């Protein structure tokens, strides 16, 4: 199978791998008609991660959702403007069924009645205004009904600190959020979420605070007109929050200073938080403060301060899991600082328990083993990819070899170490400190020897005091063609691993592992592969072939 991979490798991949050594050697209205079509591809929303800082509170608003929808529903406070379309119906002695646009002077024209001024009339009062004008001409037997069919299409300038300033189309009743979203949203690094200004004919008509919308669900209902300008002001003073907070963001604030109580209302420290750390930058000087959370409300924060909510708590108890041949509780709650002897005192071993092969598995050890294995794999990949080639044929051979090495390292990175703390003699290891999350494994006594790795028939064989390592290997079919018969590992039940000889007599419960050969012509790569094979065998009891 390995030879087949070598002979059928993709030429393009081989060419790329062959060139790698050379490369590395170099340096709101009523029933409204849809708004004018938005751009087919909305401007991508800004992502806080792109700026290399804490997410800015409010930047999650603009992801394209507002840009896709116009504001629907009946808006009673909407003011009728030129260009709005109004449906008119008269019945009785005089009939009329028509839809008219409000003319530039703000009037509707009704036959036999004349112009009716509706500009500036509230949507909720439109029907009453028209009915009053009809009643002045027709005293009886004529009834009327008027309703706004569609708000006026408008084009609005969006400028300031947005991602893509420009002129955007919509309806006069559309929310300010839609126009901001069409422009890609507010630039979180430079724009303000507290001061979005509506300018009309150069004059300030409204200022929108988007924090009110985010925190309270309120936003000022504005009626936009053709040629209005939405101006996003520069970002104001801000404080960055990190650590034990539900909203670990950068927050804007008005005024010269922000009270700590106001910041905590925005950041929402988690229940476990105990202190607030403040880092202040004053010119070349950097100062740090540390306040208990109960006193943090009175702290005044300045622009540029960095706040971190921390949880200063000492562990009071440890949770230790017991697995295997144990008849008591599977999870022990022990005081902080407990030792292995404290857990053994509460152990209720089953009749077949083998206390001499006690195993202690620890998450911190597994994490460290994973890191060490990753470093070894990084070195191996660097050795395989940075070799120089004198000829094109040699480059192709190195490329095929590097491909196999990369496949091997990819599988090796998926190995999860067990994190076993070796206890050669558990009876003398009672003073070993325990850590939270430790797992104590009590194996059962065994009468077999497992043989696996590069053998023809991996199996478990009944233990016989007269059999030696070579005998067990022969019963398992003998080593395979890829086996390195000079490297047979004896894995003891307590986690000890030794390189053994053929005349050694295994004990009951031992495992024999035959490692594969490192088939490569480069000495440094072969040495790196051998090192990785040993590490995997020790930390995971797995024989991984190339």
Q: Distance between CA atoms of 322 and 330, rounded to whole angstroms?
A: 5
Q: Please say if the pLDDT value at position 233 is more than 90.
A: yes
Q: What is the pLDDT of residue 410?
A: 85
Alpha helices in 386-486 (DSSP H): 392-412, 469-475
Classified as helix, coil or strand, 160 is: strand
Q: What is the pLDDT of residue 16?
A: 34
Q: Distance between CA atoms of 214 and 407, rounded to whole angstroms?
A: 49
- The mean pLDDT of 90-116, rounded to a whole number, is 89
Q: Are the C-beta atoms of 303 and 237 separated by less than 8 Å?
A: yes
Q: Please say if the pLDDT value at position 299 is more than 90.
A: yes
When mean pLDDT is compared across 99-103, 271-275, 301-305, 399-403, the lowest value belongs to 399-403
When mean pLDDT is compared across 68-77, 199-208, 418-427, the lowest value belongs to 68-77
- The mean pLDDT of 525-541, rounded to a whole number, is 72
Most confident of the following: 280-289, 402-411, 424-433: 280-289
- Domain assignments of the chain as residue spans, ordered by start: 79-148, 153-234, 238-310, 317-413, 446-540
Topology agreement, domain 79-148 and domain 446-540:
no
**pLDDT band of 153, cuts 50, 70, 90:** confident
When mean pLDDT is compared across 384-393, 433-442, 515-524, the lowest value belongs to 515-524
Q: What is the pLDDT of residue 468?
A: 93
Helix or strand holding residue 267 (H, E): helix 260-267
Q: Please say if the pLDDT value at position 5 is more than 60.
A: no
- Percent of the chain scoring above 90 in pLDDT: 35
Of the chain, the end-to-end C-alpha distance in Å amounts to 11
Angle at 42 between CA 37 and CA 43, to 5 degrees: 135
- Which of the following CATH numbers is that of domain 79-148: 3.30.1370.60, 1.10.1660.10, 3.40.50.300, 3.30.1950.10? 3.30.1950.10
Q: Please say if the pLDDT value at position 46 is more than 60.
A: no
Q: Distance between CA atoms of 257 and 161, rounded to whole angstroms?
A: 23
Q: What is the pLDDT of residue 404?
A: 79
Q: Please say if the pLDDT value at position 539 is more than 60.
A: yes
pTM of the predicted model over 0.85 = no
φ, ψ for residue 479, nearest 5 deg? -65, 150
Q: Please say if the pLDDT value at position 429 is more than 90.
A: no
Q: Please say if the pLDDT value at position 48 is more than 70.
A: no
- The mean pLDDT of 81-88, rounded to a whole number, is 85
Q: Please say if the pLDDT value at position 60 is more than 90.
A: no
- The mean pLDDT of 8-27, rounded to a whole number, is 35
- Percent of the chain scoring above 70 in pLDDT: 85
Q: Are the C-beta atoms of 359 and 491 separated by less than 8 Å?
A: no
**What tens digit of pLDDT does each residue of 175-187 get?**
888 899 999 999 9
Q: Please say if the pLDDT value at position 207 is more than 60.
A: yes
The overall average pLDDT reported for the chain is 82
Q: Please say if the pLDDT value at position 493 is more than 90.
A: no
Q: Please say if the pLDDT value at position 522 is more than 80.
A: no
Q: Would you state the torsion angle of the CA atoms of residues 316, 319, 320, 325, taken in this order, to the nearest 10 degrees?
A: 140
Most confident of the following: 145-154, 352-361, 402-411: 352-361
Higher pLDDT, 527 or 267: 267
Q: Please say if the pLDDT value at position 364 is more than 80.
A: yes
Give the gyration radius of the chain's Cα atoms.
38
**What tens digit of pLDDT does each residue of 446-485 get?**
999 999 888 999 999 999 999 999 999 999 999 988 888 8
Write the DSSP string, 199-238: EETTEEEEEE-HHHHHHH---------TT-EEEEEEP--E
φ, ψ for residue 305, nearest 5 deg? -65, 150
Q: What is the pLDDT of residue 9?
A: 37
For residue 424, what are the contacts with CB-CB under 8 A and spacing of at least 6?
A: 494, 496
Q: What is the pLDDT of residue 422?
A: 86
- Which of 259, 271, 266 has its CA nearest to residue 296? 259
**pLDDT band of 543, cuts 50, 70, 90:** low
Q: What is the pLDDT of residue 392?
A: 80
Q: How many residues does the chain have?
A: 546
Name the residue with tokens 């020897």. 449
Q: What is the CATH number of domain 153-234?
A: 3.10.560.10
**pLDDT band of 272, cuts 50, 70, 90:** confident
Higher pLDDT, 535 or 81: 81
Q: Please say if the pLDDT value at position 127 is more than 80.
A: yes
Q: Please say if the pLDDT value at position 544 is more than 80.
A: no
Q: What is the pLDDT of residue 531?
A: 75
Which strand ranges, in their side-by-side order, compose the sheet holding 331-335? 331-335, 317-324, 439-442, 359-361, 420-421
Q: How many CB atoms lie within 10 A of CB 234?
A: 11
Q: Distance between CA atoms of 89 and 99, rounded to whole angstroms?
A: 9
Q: What is the pLDDT of residue 282?
A: 81
Buried b (16+ CB within 10 A) or exposed e, 189-224: bebbbbbbbbbeeeeeeeebbbbebbeeeeeeebbb
Q: Distance between CA atoms of 191 and 348, rounded to whole angstroms?
A: 65
Q: Distance between CA atoms of 376 and 545, rounded to whole angstroms?
A: 16
Q: Distance between CA atoms of 210 and 193, rounded to whole angstroms?
A: 5
Fold topology of 446-540:
Outer membrane lipoprotein wza fold like (3.10.560)
Q: Distance between CA atoms of 92 and 125, rounded to whole angstroms?
A: 22
**What tens digit of pLDDT does each residue of 370-425 get?**
898 888 888 888 877 776 777 787 777 778 778 878 887 888 888 888 888 888 78
Strand partners, 286: 281
Alpha helices in 286-357 (DSSP H): 340-345
């Amino acid at each position: 199978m390995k030879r087949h991979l070598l002979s059928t490798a993709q030429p393009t991949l081989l060419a790329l791998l062959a060139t790698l050594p050379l490369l590395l050697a170099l340096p709101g209205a009523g029933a409204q008609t849809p708004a004018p079509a938005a751009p087919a591809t909305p401007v991508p929303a800004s992502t806080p991660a792109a700026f290399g800082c804490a997410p800015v509170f409010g930047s999650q608003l603009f992801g394209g959702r507002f840009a896709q929808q116009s504001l629907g529903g009946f808006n009673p406070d909407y003011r009728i403007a030129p260009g709005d379309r109004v449906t008119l119906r008269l019945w009785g002695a005089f009939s009329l069924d028509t839809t008219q646009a409000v003319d530039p002077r703000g009037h509707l024209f009704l036959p036999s009645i004349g112009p009716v001024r509706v500009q500036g009339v509230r949507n909720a009062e439109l029907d009453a205004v028209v009915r009053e004008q009809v009643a002045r001409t027709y005293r009886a037997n004529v009834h009327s009904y008027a309703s706004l069919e569609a708000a006026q299409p408008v084009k609005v300038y969006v400028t300031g600190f947005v991602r893509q300033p420009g002129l955007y189309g919509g309806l006069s009743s559309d929310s300010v959020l839609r126009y901001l979203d069409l422009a890609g949203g507010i630039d979180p690094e430079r724009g303000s979420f507290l001061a979005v200004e509506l300018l009309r004919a150069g004059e300030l008509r409204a200022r929108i605070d988007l924090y009110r919308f985010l925190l309270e669900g309120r936003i000022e209902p504005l009626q936009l007109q053709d040629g209005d300008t939405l101006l996003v002001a520069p970002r104001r003073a801000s404080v960055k929050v990190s650590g034990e907070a539900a909203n670990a963001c950068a927050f804007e604030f008005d005024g010269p200073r922000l009270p700590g109580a106001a910041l905590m209302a925005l950041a929402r420290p988690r229940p476990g938080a105990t202190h607030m750390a403040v880092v202040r930058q004053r010119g070349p000087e950097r100062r740090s403060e540390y306040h208990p959370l109960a006193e943090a409300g009175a702290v005044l924060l300045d622009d540029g301060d960095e706040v971190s909510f921390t949880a200063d708590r000492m562990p009071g108890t440890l949770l230790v899991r017991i697995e295997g041949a144990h008849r008591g509780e599977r999870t022990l709650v022990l005081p902080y600082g407990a030792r292995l002897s404290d857990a053994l005192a509460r152990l209720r071993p089953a009749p077949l328990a083998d206390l001499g092969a006690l195993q202690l598995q620890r998450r911190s050890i597994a994490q460290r083993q994973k890191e060490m294995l990753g470093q070894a794999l990084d070195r191996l990949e660097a050795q395989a990819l940075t070799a120089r080639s004198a000829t094109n044929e040699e480059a192709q051979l190195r490329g095929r070899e590097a491909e196999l090495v990369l496949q091997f390292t990819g599988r090796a990175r998926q190995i999860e170490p067990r994190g076993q703390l070796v206890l050669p003699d558990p009876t003398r290891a009672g003073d070993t400190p325990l850590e939270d999350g430790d797992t104590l494994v009590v194996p059962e006594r065994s009468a077999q020897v497992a043989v696996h790795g590069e053998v023809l028939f991996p199996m478990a064989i009944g233990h016989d005091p007269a059999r030696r390592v070579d005998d067990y290997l022969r019963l398992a079919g003998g080593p395979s063609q890829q086996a390195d018969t000079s490297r047979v590992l004896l894995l003891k039940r307590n986690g000890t691993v030794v390189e053994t000889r053929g005349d050694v007599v295994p004990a009951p419960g031992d495992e024999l592992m035959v490692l594969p050969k490192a088939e490569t012509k480069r000495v440094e790569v072969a040495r790196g592969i051998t090192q990785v094979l040993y590490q995997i065998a020790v930390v995971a009891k797995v024989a991984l072939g190339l």
